[in-house]
Amino acid sequence: MSKSQRYDPNWVSEFYDAYGEKEWARWDLSPEERVKYFIHKHYLQISVNSGQTVLEIGAGSGRFTKVLSELGARIVVADISPGQLALNRRNSKLYGYDQNVVEWVEADVCNLSRFERGRFDIVIAYGGLLGYVFEKRSQAMSEMLKVTTEGGLIIISVMSLWGTIHGALEAVLAVDISENDQIISSGDLHPDTYSNPNHRVHMFRSSELRNFLHQFPIKIECMSSSNSLTAGYGSRLGARRA
């Protein structure tokens, strides 16, 4: 597979089907993950108003669907993984956020044609979604723009190249230097760049993300890192949490 053909929607769907409950639980696994969770939550709290219509694409099992419901949004939950959608629907009953979900939809961010233009006040694409689509990222961004109302808001998260290296430095240093060179130069964690990947995703530099977004008719309101000051602190951060 060439670099220009790295996006595999079936792999993403199957990966997250198998990931299952871990998608809900991962935000509680460590103090670092809790920091990430609260910063992601913060941007929803300052951006989403009651009554707004929100598309949550790549919604997973519902941690942020719950937050959006608590803020009073009317949510269309979408994901490429039928397994995650089923968990989201189940969790909506379990955690009481079902009353604000309009519908659950299996959808690929690269094709949102099922939704009319300008339908949503806000599009939320958490979970590193733009990194999973690799060379299709421009198409994905264009699709999100089409379904967002004029003057609306898109909130996205991506995986950081340097943040990932910082947070997983011990494992990174165990990788062959030639493979690390390929990963760092391309930003791609993929069988083409690494012989033993447990994940397939593009990791962004902040400058790369900014330059990518500048291709579109949008204004960047803010950019943030979710754990640049805490990645790698490990057990020491646990003591701070206590």
**Segment (H or E) for 90:** helix 82-94
8 Å CB contact between 89 and 69: no
How far apart CA 78 and CA 14 sit, in angstroms, is 16
Q: What DSSP letter does each residue of 101-126 carry, written as one string?
A: EEEEEE--TT--TTSPTT-EEEEEE-
Q: Is residue 188 one of the residues assigned to a domain?
A: no
Burial class (CB in 10 A: 0-12, 13-18, 19+), 182: middle
Q: Is residue 233 one of the residues assigned to a domain?
A: no
Q: Is residue 64 one of the residues assigned to a domain?
A: yes
How far apart CA 60 and CA 5 sit, in angstroms, is 24
**Local confidence band at 2 (pLDDT 50, 70, 90 cut-offs):** very low
pLDDT of residue 230: 65
Judge whether residue 135 has pLDDT over 70: yes
**Local confidence band at 182 (pLDDT 50, 70, 90 cut-offs):** very high
Amino acid at 137: R
pLDDT of residue 167: 82
Q: Is residue 139 one of the residues assigned to a domain?
A: yes
Q: Is residue 199 one of the residues assigned to a domain?
A: no
**Local confidence band at 1 (pLDDT 50, 70, 90 cut-offs):** very low
Which of 129-133, 170-174, 219-223, 236-240 shows the lowest per-residue confidence on average (mean pLDDT)? 236-240
Please report where in the chains the tokens 């979408």 appear, as a residue.
Answer: 78
pLDDT of residue 142: 98
Q: Is residue 236 one of the residues assigned to a domain?
A: no
Give the residue numbers spanning the domain of 57: 7-159
How far apart CA 183 and CA 39 sit, in angstroms, is 27
Q: Is residue 90 one of the residues assigned to a domain?
A: yes
Judge whether residue 112 has pLDDT over 70: yes
The enclosing domain of 21 has a CATH number of 3.40.50.150
Residue range 59-87, pLDDT digits in tens: 999 999 999 999 999 999 999 999 999 99
pLDDT of residue 35: 86
Please report where in the chains the tokens 């447990």 appear, as a residue.
Answer: 198
The domain total for the chain is 1
Question: Mean per-residue pLDDT for 211-230?
Answer: 89
Non-local (6+) Cβ contacts of 202 within 8 A are: 6, 130, 131, 132, 134, 137, 158, 159, 186, 187, 188, 189
Question: Mean per-residue pLDDT for 202-221?
Answer: 96
Q: Is the dihedral of CA 109, 112, 118, 119 positive or negative?
A: negative
Residue range 29-48, pLDDT digits in tens: 888 888 889 999 999 999 99
Q: Is residue 206 one of the residues assigned to a domain?
A: no
Token readout for 48 is 């989403």
**Local confidence band at 169 (pLDDT 50, 70, 90 cut-offs):** confident
**Reduced to 3 states, what is the DSSP secondary structure of residue 156?**
strand
